[in-house]
Amino acid sequence: MKDALVIGAGPAGLMAADVMSAAGLSVLVAEAKPSVGRKFLMAGKSGLNLTKDEPFARFLSAYEDSAPALRPMLESFGPKEAVAWAEGLGQDMFTGSSGRVFPTVMKGSPLLRAWLARLDAQGVEIRTRWRWTGGAYRFDTPTGVEEVAPRTCVLACGGASWARLGSDGAWAEWIDVPLAPFQPANMGFEVAWSSHMAKHFGTPVKAVVLRAGDKQLRAEFVISERGLEGGGIYAVSRAMREGHPLLLDLLPDLSLEEVRSKLAKPRGKASLSNFLRKALKLSAEKQALLMEFARPLPADLAPLIKALPVVHTGPRPLDEAISTAGGVRFDALDNALMLRDRPGVFAAGEMLDWEAPTGGYLLTACLATGKKAGDGVVSYLNEKSRPSGSA
């Protein structure tokens, strides 16, 4: 009998396995996909953003209403600890100008290989193509149905996005605990573009301020065939998902009156496009957005250039989102992330009901919750093995 079963071999599950095996527990990790850490590796293709180097209060505030529940875990394993953990696995790290922290090699694969080597040295057994089918710990495997009877279990099954990488949310159909409904997070939004926008597909829109609800930031995004995506859109996606309109300030370095003054200059025989380019240095893609969302054009364009309302048809599908909101509610868990109604069963990672923006927050919290669950298992088993009545 194994001391602990971990279901899911993403960063949360592997961190729980690391903590438990380092404490001397025997650990089995079951992963539904043919290999481990698939979403972790996908995130690393464009540079593995492990965490964010900024004051802790600001870092914590990124989790919004989930911050109180996550605070104890992030205090124990926050940005500094995440960097030290990666360096302990032989990875040199650097901090970019935005405060985002990456491995010097940028990729996630060297870090994952070093981590798996450590887990192997600590005796962790990993079984791939083991898909949990609910109920007792029963799995569909390449050799047939397998059942295990561990002393404890850590559920790290992921959210409900990127099913091809292992996070399909299927576990929500059979786990009998209070759940918040899944919603897409850090996702693009669909726009029914007119034909003139086709030449701008794939173009980044830089130096804009995006506003939705109480969120406002200077960032960039991408015009795609299906709509708008990229870091700036992801940062305001929660507010947009909740129904707040998106407004774009296309010229954030100029005031409304400065824009209006420049537009008041004689246009002469110049086309509107050339006039906007010369008078305001308004790029082609920004002009295209203005024409797309502001027609029929009013006499006074300045207010729209400073606050252009974006018309969209809603978020991209859940499976296309970078992450998800919803999952196991924190009131179903104790302070060690153990299910209140299932002693010895813990939960961690994206399957918990929290969301965060991209920029290192997602990965750090997955690692932090995995560590908390692993620590919880160690304490739970130590308590059970303590003689009755001992201090």
Q: Where are the domains of the chain?
A: 4-184+320-385, 189-309
Q: Strands 247-249 and 308-309: what pairing? A: antiparallel
Q: Which CATH architecture has domain 4-184+320-385?
A: 3-Layer(bba) Sandwich (3.50)
pTM attached to this predicted model:
0.92
Query: Which fold is adopted by the domain 189-309?
Result: Elongation Factor Tu (Ef-tu); domain 3 (2.40.30)
The values of phi and psi at residue 37, to 5°, are 60, 35
Q: Please tell me the predicted confidence (pLDDT) of residue 249.
A: 98
Q: Are 344 and 380 in contact (CB under 8 A)?
A: yes
Q: Are 306 and 250 in contact (CB under 8 A)?
A: yes
CA 321 from centroid of its chain's CA atoms: 9
Same fold, 4-184+320-385 and 189-309: no
In angstroms, the CA 76 to CA 51 distance is 14
Condensed to tens digits (0 to 9), the pLDDT of residues 195-254 reads 999 999 999 999 999 999 999 999 999 999 999 999 999 999 999 999 999 999 999 999
SS3 percent helix, strand, coil of the chain, rounded to 5, is 40, 20, 40
Q: Give the residue ranges of the chain where pLDDT is below 70.
A: 388-391
